[in-house]
Amino acid sequence: MTYDAIIIGMGIAGISAAIYAKRGGLNVLILEKERPGGIINIIDNVENYPGYTSISGPDLSMKLFEQINALEIPYQMEEVIELSVDQEEKIVKTTQNTYRAKNVLIATGRSPILLDLPNIDQLIGKGISTCALCDGALYKGKEIAVVGGGNSALQEALYLSKLVKKIYLIHRRNEFRASEELIKRIKKCPNVEFVYNSQVTNLQTENGVLSGIEINQEKKIPVSALFIYIGYAPKTDFASALNITNPAGYILVDDNYETTVPGIYAAGDIIIKKVYQIVTAAAEGASAAIHFSRQK
């Protein structure tokens, strides 16, 4: 069977594309490695998406998934490991199956980047985290650190400030890059200490669990957890053979969100663009689907 379109990723870009493809009369399939909603699931509170004054990331993800089910759009929870082209057909290989499609939309999003420190991978879930909503409650009443200076770092620090005793908010520059509103709010938190012009240079452990951090190779701070928000890396390794990414792994697309390979599209946080927001990802997915629906 050859699908009209296969969408790789069930974040908001992929779900938006699936909705428009289905409404356009296409035979569409969604492939998702982990869970509907993608990175939205780890966002504490969404306040800038139309239609919702305030909604938690998991609740918004569930609303999106409900719409997929209501439209009876088929999906498979499988990891895509390879994307290739056979004449005009696209071959999508997962860990379990191989699928064929006329069009493919890549909407796999990004993964959080960790600090480049020895043994940090071994401490994930043992004091190292990139998800305040997932792990914040584990450190209730304790002292922790958050590293980063953008919107994600400050937004997650705000959430954690309601749970923990104290936060050391560490940023390598002398001012934050977040929105003015977030900066104003975080500066009103009495249990947040700002550590500017600083970097985490070492991790201390005790019995295999994080016990503290070292700042600028000199100052040691005892903390129970370190939450990291220093950026994201696109999840596009499975498409590397197509030569559609830049050296950092981001995909270049045209005005219709089509790559240099005809019939392969990309949308959301994996493309090269100026604004990385939920609302823009939704629009990109919809635009791509509208375009390949008209090619039917």
CATH number at residue 75: 3.50.50.60
* Last-in-domain residue among 190, 213, 228: 228
Domain count, the chain: 2
Please write the tens of the pLDDT for every residue from 18-52.
999 999 999 999 999 988 998 888 887 888 889 98
My answer on whether 278 and 247 are in the same domain is: yes
My answer on whether 223 and 248 are in the same domain is: no
My answer on whether 224 and 253 are in the same domain is: no
- Partners of 264 in the beta sheet? 104
My answer on whether 238 and 218 are in the same domain is: no
pLDDT on residue 199: 96
* Last-in-domain residue among 192, 208, 228: 228
pLDDT on residue 296: 66
Please write the tens of the pLDDT for every residue from 253-283.
999 999 999 999 999 999 999 888 899 999 9
Backbone angles phi, psi at 147, to 5 degrees: -115, 130
- Residue 89 burial class via C-beta count within 10 angstroms: exposed 0-12, middle 13-18, buried 19 and up: middle
My answer on whether 101 and 238 are in the same domain is: yes
My answer on whether 16 and 107 are in the same domain is: yes
Expressed as residue numbers, the domain containing 11 is 2-111+232-294
In the chain the beta strands, taken as DSSP E runs, fall at 2-8, 28-31, 75-76, 80-86, 89-94, 98-106, 110-112, 128-129, 143-147, 166-170, 192-195, 200-206, 209-215, 219-222, 225-228, 232-234, 264-266
pLDDT on residue 45: 82
Backbone angles phi, psi at 167, to 5 degrees: -125, 130
My answer on whether 107 and 236 are in the same domain is: yes
pLDDT on residue 1: 83
The set of residues, in sequence order, having a beta carbon less than 8 Å from that of 102 and lying 6+ positions away, is 2, 3, 4, 5, 88, 89, 90, 263, 292
| H-type alpha helices, 117-250 | 132-135, 151-161, 180-186
My answer on whether 84 and 216 are in the same domain is: no
Under a CB-based contact definition with an 8 Å cutoff, are residues 175 and 261 in contact? no
My answer on whether 179 and 238 are in the same domain is: no
* Last-in-domain residue among 228, 256, 281: 228
**Sequential pLDDT tens for the chain (296 residues):** 899 999 999 999 999 999 999 999 999 999 999 889 988 888 878 888 899 898 988 999 999 999 999 999 999 999 999 999 998 899 999 999 999 999 999 999 998 999 999 989 999 989 999 989 889 999 999 999 999 999 999 999 999 999 999 999 999 999 999 999 999 999 999 999 999 999 999 999 999 999 999 999 999 999 999 999 999 899 999 999 999 999 999 999 999 999 999 999 999 999 999 888 899 999 999 999 999 998 86
My answer on whether 12 and 103 are in the same domain is: yes
My answer on whether 81 and 150 are in the same domain is: no
My answer on whether 144 and 95 are in the same domain is: no
